[in-house]
Amino acid sequence: MAGKKAVGFIGTGVMGGSMAGHLLKAGYEVHVHTRTRSRADDLVAAGAVWEDDRVAVARKCEILITMVGYPSDVEEVYFGPRGIIENALPGAILVDMTTSRPDLAARIAAAAKAKGLGALDAPVSGGDIGAKNATLTIMVGGEIGDFEAAKPLFGHLGKTIVLQGGPGSGQHTKMANQIAIAASLLGAVESISYAKRAGLDPRRVLESIGSGSAGSWQLANLVPKMLDGNFEPGFYIKHFLKDLRIALESAAAMQLDLPGLRLAEGLFEILQAEGFADKGTQALWLLYERGLMPGKAR
């Protein structure tokens, strides 16, 4: 990439705001749009250019990054007369960093290619901490040329940046990531629940098991939050549940049965139904603490 291209960022929520901020600090001209303008106030104060809609962003930027909530939002942003595929600059590269459906990523790539545009699906892992510290893992699907063009920009957002294959491969990799997280988080919660019921000090137990073979990111980062009663989102339950459902749908399409994934989806469905959709995934702890497990009398 010769010189710093104008970058559009559509969606500046819990993670997107920090990510767009890193690009600003790196010297990129950043144009932003998000549904709730107040979420972009800090970015605009730091030098980003506010645009009133996604069409304006698309018509001014050579690289367009989207990070929205759900696959339905991705479809709305990319397709139709006011979609960014229809309105992007010739030769622009479209980068969807939303965790979305692999088949939708493939559709976007095909539609973009037909218009002479590049397209990458590049979901991330690392949560709000990784976004703030620019240490995200970025899982990319798409053509090698588009990946090489965008890689310098990715370097300002994350530390592990891997092209996994063609269109949709980034999203498939993110599904594998979310499946592993679900199992690890469930194990961490049940481990600490057991320790507490056995009359142990959970924090002292964490000292022992956190650095051994049971150690995990979930154990080290989310268990302390659980024990502190801090359930504010680094990653929303509603978004994690969305990811688990996509993973189940994708697995079903491949005729793959994943019982652990089905269990995790059911537990997070209960949390959402109990009103915790906007809390962080560590609120899984509350199912155990408040006796909300399925089949348990309250």
pLDDT digits (tens, 9 = 90+) for 167-176: 999 999 999 9
- The model carries a pTM of 0.92
Query: pLDDT at residue 88 above 90?
Result: yes
Active-site residue, 174 included: yes
pLDDT-based confidence at residue 3 (cuts at 50, 70, 90): low
Annotate 203-263 with DSSP letters as a single string: HHHHHHHTTSTT--HHHHHTHHHHHHT----SSBHHHHHHHHHHHHHHHHHTT---HHHHH
What residue ranges do the domains of the chain occupy? 7-165, 173-289
Task: Please enumerate, as own/partner, the contacts of 79-87 that have beta carbons within 8 Å and a separation of 24 or more.
Answer: 79/111, 82/53, 82/54, 82/55, 83/54, 84/10, 84/54, 84/55, 84/57, 84/58, 85/111, 85/112, 85/115, 85/117, 86/115, 87/54, 87/55, 87/58, 87/59
Instruction: Considering the candidates 174, 238, 242, 296, report the single residue annotated as catalytic.
Output: 174
Confidence of residue 230 (pLDDT cuts 50, 70, 90): very high
Q: Domain 7-165 is classified in which CATH homologous superfamily?
A: NAD(P)-binding Rossmann-like Domain (3.40.50.720)
Mean pLDDT computed over 51-58: 96
Residue 141 to residues 82, 111, 117: CA-CA distances in angstroms? 25, 15, 15
| Better-scored residue on pLDDT, 99 or 295 | 99
How many angstroms separate the CA atoms of 237 and 52, rounded? Answer: 29
Give residue-wise pLDDT tens across range 110-167.
999 999 999 999 999 988 889 999 999 999 999 999 999 999 999 999 999 999 999 9
**Quick one: fold of 173-289?**
N-(1-d-carboxylethyl)-l-norvaline Dehydrogenase; domain 2 (1.10.1040)
Rounded mean pLDDT of 269-280?
Answer: 96
Query: What confidence category does residue 297 fall into, taking pLDDT thresholds of 50, 70 and 90?
Result: very low
Provide the mean pLDDT of the chain. Answer: 94
How high is the pLDDT of residue 296? Answer: 58
Q: Do domains 7-165 and 173-289 have the same CATH topology?
A: no
Closest CA to 108 of 74, 135, 136: 74
* Predicted local distance difference test score (pLDDT) of residue 167: 98
pLDDT more than 70, % of the chain: 98
**Does the pLDDT value for residue 4 go beyond 80?**
no
Give the number of other CB atoms < 10 A from CB of residue 122: 30
